[in-house]
Amino acid sequence: MSASDNSNGRVAVVTGASSGIGAATARRLAQDGFQVVLGARRVDRISELADEIGGRASYLDVTDAASVERFIAALDRVDVLVNNAGGAKGLAPVADADLDDWRWMWETNVIGTLRITKGLLPKLADSGDGLIITVTSTAALEAYDNGAGYTSAKHAQGVLHRTLRLELIGTPIRLTEICPGMVETEFSLVRFDGDTAKADAVYEGLEPLVADDIADIISFTASRPSRVDIDQIVVRPRDQATSRRNIKTG
Ligand code: 8X3
């Protein structure tokens, strides 16, 4: 069935939609009947996916205020916002912290989520049943060695999202935080600056989640009746107990 055959008349915005969880979510929400607006910097990738799923691709750099403004101005209606853009750079002890990596992680995960969410709040409220899904991480709940740049940014992103949940009570906007553990996407490739061997080693010897596992959860969340607010979901592979303990570390 094509997306237009089963339209539910609702619009879903997915940030970071060019790969991984964002791309899988865009595909899945289109199958669910949403008109999907895909936002990302890699326009070639999102245009191709938008053509495939009957959605719309729109350039979006969440670290750039003007880009976010243009992205939002082109939207008439928004029912669901999936804050997925973000990522990690580096895996260094605090003593060796690269300040540019930290700035990138805070700018992308925290300020980026703030910019797009703040800008879309009026449209989400106008929809009469808005939903903000923020994909944080188990790194929003735990600290791990050498991960402080990322875990601190994810904690801040989580607190931003959870604070909004308090502030928006009484408005027609629901909020769901999804905290995934290890998901095999481009995440580790970005973290290790394109070093495939290092990225592959992260997932060797265990079975990580895949992007579709998270897209499934987002699809489920977005299809609940409006009285139901799924607050927070923590999801890890069976092979991972915490950020620091998995089937390899024992
Ligand atoms: C990614 C999960 O464990 O690599 O958000 O920080 S982890």
- Residue of 83, 108, 137, 183 best suited for mutating to test ligand 1, as the one with most atoms within 8 Å of CB: 137
The pLDDT value recorded for residue 98 is 98
**Cα dihedral sign, 122-125-128-134:** positive
Percent of the chain with pLDDT over 90: 97
Is residue 249 domain-resident?
Answer: no
Is residue 49 domain-resident?
Answer: yes
Is residue 160 domain-resident?
Answer: yes
Domain, as residue range, for 184? 11-235
For 90-148, what is each residue's pLDDT tens digit? 999 999 999 999 999 999 999 999 999 999 999 999 999 999 999 999 999 999 999 99
Is residue 17 domain-resident?
Answer: yes
Q: How confident is the model at residue 6 (pLDDT cuts 50, 70, 90)?
A: confident
Q: Enumerate the active-site residues.
A: 150
Beta carbon of 153 within 6 Å of any ligand 1 atom: no
Is residue 248 domain-resident?
Answer: no
Domain count, the chain: 1
Is residue 247 domain-resident?
Answer: no
Q: State the CATH number of the domain containing residue 220.
A: 3.40.50.720
The pLDDT value recorded for residue 130 is 98
Q: Which of 58, 48, 8, 50 is nearest to 26 (CA)?
A: 50
Residue 1 reports pLDDT greater than 70: no
> What SS3 string covers the chain?
CCHHHHCCCCEEEEECCCCHHHHHHHHHHHHCCCEEEEEECCHHHHHHHHHHHCCEEEECCCCCHHHHHHHHHCCCCCCEEEECCCCCCCCCCHHHCCHHHHHHHHHHHHHHHHHHHHHHHHHHHHCCCEEEEEECCHHHCCCCCCCHHHHHHHHHHHHHHHHHHHHCCCCCEEEEEEEECCEECCHHHHHCCCCHHHHHHHHCCCCCEEHHHHHHHHHHHHCCCCCCCCCEEEECCCCECCCCCECCCC
The pLDDT value recorded for residue 4 is 55
The pLDDT value recorded for residue 188 is 94
Is residue 250 domain-resident?
Answer: no
Is residue 44 domain-resident?
Answer: yes
For 164-180, what is each residue's pLDDT tens digit? 999 999 999 999 999 99
Beta carbon of 182 within 6 Å of any ligand 1 atom: yes
Beta carbon of 181 within 6 Å of any ligand 1 atom: yes
Q: Which atom of ligand 1 is nearest to the CA of 151?
A: 6
Q: pTM of the prediction?
A: 0.96
For 194-231, what is each residue's pLDDT tens digit? 999 999 999 999 999 999 999 999 999 999 999 999 99
d(CA 212, CA 216): 6
